[in-house]
Amino acid sequence: MYARDLSVWDRGICLLVEDSGFDQKMMIRAICKAGIYFPLLIADSIASARELLAENRIRFLLLDNLLPDGLGVDLALELAALEAYQSVPMALITDWQSPGMYQKARRAGIREVMGKADFVPTRVKRLMAH
């Protein structure tokens, strides 16, 4: 948990879906350096993300695209079709662009698509400020 005040759990949780431990740590560092403190859950696959989505009130979703059991953008499309997730902001953080990824991202309402090298504190702060 990356929250200074436990009452933030009531406002929702950020879910990071990333299978690489190295990239998870890099993204957590960028979030902390941006001065953003809130509960953060981590899933390393689409299946584990679905479990966490079912059990928690997710307020923001950060998705890697290439996951061991599918594409993050396909999960975003799946969630965008559900009323409960239509207002949940999503960002796709990936270094592997699949064919049609940008079109799917637009259809899913993904707020931003960026490379992992671009996931730096200044961009994170801007991305998550909304």
Q: What confidence tens digit (pLDDT) does each residue in 95-124 have? A: 887 778 999 999 999 999 999 999 999 999
Entry pTM = 0.88
pLDDT tens digits, 37-60: 779 999 999 999 999 999 999 999
Q: Is the pLDDT of residue 16 over 90?
A: yes
**How many whole angstroms separate alpha carbon 100 and alpha carbon 83?**
24
Interior angle at CA 64, CA 83 and CA 99, nearest 5 = 90
Topology adopted by domain 6-125: Rossmann fold (3.40.50)
